[in-house]
Amino acid sequence: MPDAHKLTHTILVVRYRFLRITDKRMCEPIINADKENDWLISYMRNVTSQAGEDGIIEKIFEIIKENDKWCVEFGAWDGKKSSNTWNLITNKGWFGVLLEGDSERYKQLLMTYKDNPKVTCINKFVEFEGLYCIDNILSKIPIPKCFDLLCIDVDGNDYHIWDSMTLYQPKVVVIEFNPSIPNDIDFIQPKNMNINQGSSLLSIFNLGREKGYELVATPIANAIFVDRQYFGLFGINDNSLSMIHKGHEYHTRLYQLYDGTLVLEGCTRLI
């Protein structure tokens, strides 16, 4: 057991190192050193997306050339706000299936695409099973089984919704995770539509691998996966979370000191 003087010194060193690692300016050399693995982050660019997803998605489909130009997005809002598909549909001529459960947002969604016959707008909350699960909803639309892009953003049950999809194998999946949960924690929120907690990146990473996908980028709170058959095209040698997901600004750590004090480090505010 260290004495009080040594303990104080140790705590100060740990905090200093933490602050250095999480300071974005200090992170730049580390990020550049591993650019061969997380290089897609350099293509971050927003048209209507929230955290640079538009640019990354464009680059991914430059590499995956077998495009049918079909995209599906859950939690579509008005079709443009924080959308990962608006650029593809409006500027690239893609077909779209957009789902929004909120009735007022759905009206705005209809207005956004009222003159676009390539877009199907649906006013439903996606469920895990039954009539309104992903597979049943898409089965009524002439969309390829291996369509290009699936975006899931429902603020909580994203993991379970993707897990429920069994009849379709999109080439690329963009799915939201809870960015406050550290990379080493495997947390899956309860399978309950009335709970909105979000699941950890590690849990979604593991689910992706079970479903035949590999992680290629993580812009803030979205994990971007490609079907494993295309992964070799990206030249990524190591797609472990430590190599791909370096944005820890929302991580919160709790530890205890020998005198019983509990200390919060990292993000100390509610997100």
Query: If DSSP states are collapsed to H, E and C, what string results for 166-212?
Result: CCCCCCEEEEECCCCCCCCCCCCCCCCCCCCCCCCHHHHHHHHHHCC
Percent of the chain with pLDDT over 70: 87
Local confidence band at 65 (pLDDT 50, 70, 90 cut-offs): confident
Residue 270: exposed, middle, or buried by beta-carbon count in 10 A (0-12, 13-18, 19+)? exposed
Is 210 or 33 the better-scoring residue by pLDDT?
210
Give the CA distances from residue 3 to residues 10, 121, 268, in Å, rounded to whole numbers and listed in that order.
11, 65, 29
In this prediction, residues 14-43 reach a mean pLDDT of 48
* Residue-range domain boundaries for the chain: 38-245
166-183 confidence digits (pLDDT tens):
999 999 999 999 999 989
The stretches of 221-265 forming alpha helices (DSSP H) are 228-231, 241-244
In this prediction, residues 57-70 reach a mean pLDDT of 93
121-167 confidence digits (pLDDT tens):
999 888 888 888 999 999 999 999 999 999 998 888 999 999 999 99
β-pairing, 222-227 vs 95-99, is: unpaired
Range scoring the smallest mean pLDDT among 6-20, 77-91, 201-215, 250-264: 6-20
In this prediction, residues 183-204 reach a mean pLDDT of 94
Rounded to an integer, what distance in angstroms lies between the CA atom of residue 49 and that of residue 89?
13
Local confidence band at 12 (pLDDT 50, 70, 90 cut-offs): very low
Local confidence band at 76 (pLDDT 50, 70, 90 cut-offs): confident
Dihedral Cα 161, 162, 165, 166, nearest 10 deg: -140
Is 197 or 11 the better-scoring residue by pLDDT?
197
Write down the pLDDT at residue 84: 95
**Phi-psi label, residue 31: left if phi above 0, alpha if psi -120 to 50, beta otherwise:** alpha
Write down the pLDDT at residue 35: 55
Range scoring the smallest mean pLDDT among 14-28, 63-77, 87-101, 129-143: 14-28
Write down the pLDDT at residue 8: 35
pLDDT value at 31 more than 50: no
Six-digit token string for 35: 């650019």
pLDDT value at 6 more than 70: no
In this prediction, residues 197-204 reach a mean pLDDT of 96
Long-range contacts, stretch 119-123, CB < 8 angstroms, 24+ apart = 119/79, 119/89, 119/95, 120/96, 121/76, 121/79, 122/97, 122/98, 123/99
Q: Name the phi and psi angles at 202, rounded to 5.
A: -60, -40
pLDDT value at 30 more than 70: no
Rounded to an integer, what distance in angstroms lies between the CA atom of residue 104 and that of residue 79?
12
Rounded to an integer, what distance in angstroms lies between the CA atom of residue 178 and that of residue 195?
14
Local confidence band at 115 (pLDDT 50, 70, 90 cut-offs): very high
Averaged pLDDT score across all residues of the chain: 86
Fold of 38-245: Rossmann fold (3.40.50)
The stretches of 93-133 forming alpha helices (DSSP H) are 103-112
β-pairing, 213-217 vs 172-176, is: unpaired
Identify the top-confidence range among 8-17, 18-27, 92-101: 92-101
Write down the pLDDT at residue 268: 83
